Structure 1
């Protein structure tokens, strides 16, 4: 059946400008990290993407090695793009990244010019695109000179492979250096993508938003729900079949102290008339300098619940103080 997006798709979404650029992103973006590999039904993926666009989610965030296996999320997104979203390409912001392990040998990882350009070319082929809107260096490289990595990003824009470039997992000092190099080259830094949540507040201690504001870049965060910990799923412990039950590192984090914090935050969310996930997303967006938060979704219902965060009431000082008692990370 031919897909016809909702006529009112822009009526309820909030859009925020990325730093001092001309680009606006939806306050909540859809990430394809966990749920768009070959281990997930294509029909479910298609339903999620269609519903997201119907609700004004115009930004889809990918990376070269999202799967499983590596590359699968981009391949599947390319299928859905061709089937449903191709006529609306100019309404979409599609991003990808390179910087983590992708293929064997010395040229399939980190931040060399050879790796970044080759990886993006592969990503474009998998998705059936001429260009991505945003291309990120996925993590700092301790060995490749930052000048080489940023020159590769500048080349990628000048060659037409991407409209904008960003970085991910860079701290404040690294952002300032990267932005300065890019400014000298004539390609501004659009955005940084760090991890951030109530249980992971390193960016606040680092002064990252201040650094991004100085250089005119935006901020889009991943894992704002702490890999699902900031949802109602773990209020009674770790259920069988959950992500935490399957991953040892998550089970270790979900100790009695963490579960008590989750319950405390849930109680505040209930008082606000929200799910815990909705409150956690609204909290991550409370600073206007935060351009967007990336959510994953394994179902349409989960996506819709997350987007309910956009109708959240403003936080009172008392609520923020109460949250701070449990939001430790």
Structure 2
């Protein structure tokens, strides 16, 4: 059937009943060889679900996402702002709207970046990961999350300890599956081997991945396929560079304060973006839609982690699912356009271990 988008919620205060046809909109994709499936788009709660947005605006987006078939909501201990606010707000949402649907949802959280003061408030020690998971569950009001990640590789803690902590969380019933984020191909293989020995369902990797930052295609994707793990791509739009925002302007001011693109708004990068937009127009897509569709092509990501500040923005991203097929000529043209370092590999430094 042709993909259609449900109208946004008109009144966020009325009792919520999910759209009856929410599972008829697209197919769900298996994570590696595990039993868990994800929607092709997952909603990340990194920035637009802290105390910088009204509760009702967040609620409208989350309802709209679920009504349109998105079942995976991705959090981390430090998502906000301030750090922790996204989990607290989503916990309220669970109690008010999504409690009847908990078993239909895939809820994930992570720990690895700075969260609290002192030597045990960051990276990958058992002390930090277990304490962080407990704190996240308390904020969310849950007994378990579906996926819990080591958010980044810790070069000073034995990998056996980090993966052993994830194993402990699974055995304690606090996580059903576990994952890693921003690990190199080599460390991913090592982590999988440790997890396999422990009998831990390490099933997914979350890397930064987009047209202008395809580093995962140089070893990591091959490793994930070999290890039968899934991939969920974050920063699919390169922090806004792969949208129409910079097609007709060289304004380097970033809105929202998350990260500055000043150094990346070079004439070379803007030329790439404009050329990619021409390809997208021929495909009948916006640049953002093509960037998402490209990640969902065969052999790439299992799911794409999107952010949204409005239902309108969410609808544009959902529109990418109308056309996720690429001709070989299109793929070759995109590859030729994106050759060279765009200087946006912000998270690769955390995957060098």
What TM-score do you get using the length of structure 2 for normalisation? Answer: 0.90
Aligned-partner SS, 1:230: coil
Corresponding residue number in structure 2 for 1:169:
182
**Structure 1: how far apart are the matches of 2:43 and 2:202?**
21
Q: Does structure 1 retain, via aligned residues, the 8 Å contact 2:252–2:262?
A: no
Corresponding residue number in structure 2 for 1:226:
238
Q: Does structure 1 retain, via aligned residues, the 8 Å contact 2:212–2:238?
A: yes
Is 1:43 the counterpart of 2:46? The answer is no
**Structure 1: how far apart are the matches of 2:237 and 2:336?**
17
Q: 1:295 aligns with which of 295, 302, 306?
A: 306
Q: Does structure 1 retain, via aligned residues, the 8 Å contact 2:294–2:324?
A: no
**Structure 1: how far apart are the matches of 2:223 and 2:310?**
36
**Structure 2: how far apart are the matches of 1:278 and 1:183?**
37
Q: 1:53 aligns with which of 56, 66, 77?
A: 66
Corresponding residue number in structure 2 for 1:81:
94
Aligned-partner SS, 2:38: strand
Corresponding residue number in structure 1 for 2:164:
151
Corresponding residue number in structure 2 for 1:254:
265
Give a deviation string over 1:86-129, Cα, whole Å, max 9, x none. 11000000000000100000111000000000000000011111
Q: Does structure 2 retain, via aligned residues, the 8 Å contact 1:13–1:55?
A: no
Task: Label 1:273 to 1:138 Cα distance change in 2 as closer, same or farther (>3 A).
Answer: same
Corresponding residue number in structure 2 for 1:208:
220
Q: 2:229 aligns with which of 183, 198, 217?
A: 217
Corresponding residue number in structure 2 for 1:5:
18
Aligned-partner SS, 1:220: strand
Task: Label 1:87 to 1:104 Cα distance change in 2 as closer, same or farther (>3 A).
Answer: same
Is 1:107 the counterpart of 2:120? The answer is yes
**Structure 1: how far apart are the matches of 2:121 and 2:304?**
28
**Structure 1: how far apart are the matches of 2:258 and 2:119?**
29
Long gaps (5+) in structure 1: none
Aligned-partner SS, 2:312: helix
Q: CA deviation at 1:248?
A: 6.9
Corresponding residue number in structure 1 for 2:197:
184
Corresponding residue number in structure 2 for 1:116:
129
Q: Does structure 1 retain, via aligned residues, the 8 Å contact 2:253–2:262?
A: no
Give a deviation string over 1:2-33, Cα, whole Å, max 9, x none. 00110110111231100000111001100001
**Structure 1: how far apart are the matches of 2:312 and 2:272?**
25
**Structure 1: how far apart are the matches of 2:231 and 2:293?**
15
**Structure 2: how far apart are the matches of 1:290 and 1:322?**
20
**Structure 1: how far apart are the matches of 2:15 and 2:323?**
34
**Structure 1: how far apart are the matches of 2:57 and 2:251?**
23
Q: Does structure 2 retain, via aligned residues, the 8 Å contact 1:230–1:276?
A: yes
Task: Label 1:39 to 1:281 Cα distance change in 2 as closer, same or farther (>3 A).
Answer: same
Q: Does structure 2 retain, via aligned residues, the 8 Å contact 1:103–1:109?
A: yes
**Structure 1: how far apart are the matches of 2:130 and 2:164?**
11
When the two chains are superposed, the root-mean-square deviation of aligned CA atoms in Å is 1.4
Long gaps (5+) in structure 2: 1-13, 342-353
**Structure 1: how far apart are the matches of 2:223 and 2:297?**
18
Q: 1:314 aligns with which of 298, 319, 325?
A: 325
Q: Does structure 2 retain, via aligned residues, the 8 Å contact 1:218–1:289?
A: no
**Structure 1: how far apart are the matches of 2:184 and 2:259?**
27
Give a deviation string over 1:25-80, Cα, whole Å, max 9, x none. 00110000111110111111111000000000000000000111100110111111
